[in-house]
Amino acid sequence: MLLVTSSLCAGNKYSVFGVRFLKFQRSKRIHLALIKSLTVCSSSSTNNASFSSAIKLVDAQVLYCLAPALGHNQESHPECNSRLSAIANALDKMKLSSKYRGGDVLEITNWRPASFDEITSVHTTTYVNGLEKAMEKASQEGIVFIDGSGPTYATSTTFQESYVAAGAGITLIDSIVSFAKAKADIPVGFALVRPPGHHAIPKGPMGFCVFGNVAIAARHAQRVHGLKQVFIIDFDVYHGNGTNDAFYEDPDIFFLSTHQDGSYPGTGKIEEVGSGDGEGATLNLPLPGGSGDFTMRTVFDEVILPSAQRFKPDIILVSAGFDAHVLDPLAGLQFTTSTYYMLASSIQQLARDLCGGRCVFFLEGGYNLQSLSYSVADTFLAFLGEPSISSNFDDPAILYEEPLVRVREAIQRVKHMHSL
């Protein structure tokens, strides 16, 4: 599935990655770019002339990486490798993958795993070294469950594949920045990776998550590309407590989470707004069970939009969990496929308005394979500016009335607390 290069840029500690551009047809034009091993130094802040000239050949609107972590798997577990297989199959079935949409949608197939230094920009060295040592036990027993982390498991490949997942997000940050140097209308990135990351706290794994993929990418954006102000939106049904904790005292990373009130892991109260220099740069909005499409449209307009406008981000990162879908078995919100289409379209436009279009999504939860794969596909359609297919999948008959009085109370309370 992955072709990882091991070359090093001269005088540079960062590995390089290759990007393959395939032959494609778009709008009755044929472009051919045979760039089999185009390398871009991840730490370089200068323009790469060959890369810039190459990407001008294409009109990409979506860049994505697919890191399925095939060895990190337990079939009976909700967070298994069937999730990524279902997404890949849906993208092919709906002709939304690079195989069918090479002019609009590009899959980055070569990238490097994250480095130890990149992982430990968020996680403690004690945790990372301890997880590596645990691989021997996982190899002997086939699978182990990590104490104190919730139902988080590890296999003999978990450590390596978690490095790969984090590296995919870093690669997309690098790619989006490189595109921005060459063209005004830059693509959106989507890291379709597992294990997910937003529950992983600095000191350890938690809630199916091993390394904080979005948090690691945020630090990379700051340190390598000088994108100081990072705005993170997390619309997973569960609170992204790991991301929350990593940046709780950081004024330059604004973390905004919507999640189901009272759900795992019990964090993310409205009163949790950051501390020290980071006070006010964390916004948590727990939503009552039963909240759905109308709720999220209101939340975007009244909370997400004004928060981002005031923060003035240099890049927007998204923890995209699809487990708030009404069909998902693990929670109690009632988002539909059209909810995710709306969020993707709105966040993309927000990035265009505020930070030159720099935006990368990261897969988090989503455990009904049908609703997960259709929602990701509809997200791609939103990025492409094409009509939603949600009407082919959503069934309005299964929805019930949203608790709008309680929703309004929660929104008004968070708006008051953050002076929105």
Residues noted as catalytic: 199
Q: Per DSSP, what are the bridge partners of residue 254?
A: 231
> Which two tokens mark 100?
């069918």
